Structure 1
Amino acid sequence: MHTYLVQSAARSNRYELRRSVEIGQNLLWGAADQLQTQDTRSASAQLIARERLMAQLADQVAQTLKRTQTNDCPADADQPRGHEA
C-alpha cells in the first residue's frame, strides 16, 4: 500500500498526496518499531490497527486522484461541439 502512495505522489504535485506518503512512512516505521520491541502476539492488535490506517490512507489517496482526474477531464470534454451561431 505504501508503494501505491509513493507512486501516486510521484505523479502529482498535490500536497495531500505528499503528506499521505509521510503519514504512511510513519505508520511503517511504527510497525517496524513494534515488531522489534514487542513480541508478535502483544503487538498484533496494534499492527492490525496500523494496517487499517494504511488502507484508509490508500483509499483517501485513490479518492483524491479520482477527484483530480474528474476535475481535469470534464464529463462533456469528449462530446463533439455543435455549430455555434
Structure 2
Amino acid sequence: MTGSARYALELKLIYVENGVDFTLSFGDIDERFYNSMVSVYAAIIDQVNEDETAELFDQYGERIEATVSKTEGIGWGFHDNMAEIHAEIRWI
C-alpha cells in the first residue's frame, strides 16, 4: 500500500508497538490478539533479515528491541514468542 518497504516496516512496527502499549495499559487481551502481534513482529524481523546492508537494523533495531523488552510479563506466552523471534535477527 505504501509503495515503500521502509514505510511498510514502519507501519508494522507501529502496529506492534501500539498493541504492546495497549496491553500494558489495559491488561491481557486474548490469544488471537497476541497471535496477530507475533505474526506481524515476525514479518518485521524477516524484512530486517532480508536487508543485506543492515540499514534497516541500524534504523529500527532499538525500537525492535524495546518492543520485545516491554512484553516481559504479558500472558499467553507472548513474551516468549516475541523473544524467540527477536533472537532470529541476524545482525545481533
Q: TM-score range by the shorter chain?
A: 0.3 to 0.5
TM-score (structure 1 length as normaliser): 0.38
TM-score (structure 2 length as normaliser): 0.36
